[in-house]
Amino acid sequence: MRDGLLPIFLRNCTGEISSAAEAIACLSSIYWPKAGKQHWREAAHVCTQAWRGYRTPQNARVAFIAAANAADVLIVGHLDSAGSLLAEA
């Protein structure tokens, strides 16, 4: 997902998610909530496909954000010009 877009921040994974490989690792974590399993399956599939080069980073990002939203772990925010997280919901 290193596509020039902002990284994704989650409550249950440390650091930022900025690649398909990092998204797959987070989705595979024992800390991923059980809610939203259908979104989880789709994200795992799309992120794996992106990692293998069959899908775009943007496809992986959309699927991963949908899964994080369904699992209620997405931290919504924006970055200032220095790259610091300014606000979260």
Give residue-wise pLDDT tens across range 26-85. Answer: 898 877 888 888 999 999 999 999 999 999 988 998 898 889 888 888 876 544 445 555
Reply yes or no on whether the pLDDT at 19 is more than 70: yes
Residue 84's pLDDT is what? 52
Residue 5's pLDDT is what? 53
Query: 15: phi > 0 → left, psi -120 to 50 → alpha, else beta; which?
Result: left
Residue 89's pLDDT is what? 39
**Rounded Cα gap, residues 78 and 24, in angstroms:** 23
Specify the pTM: 0.76
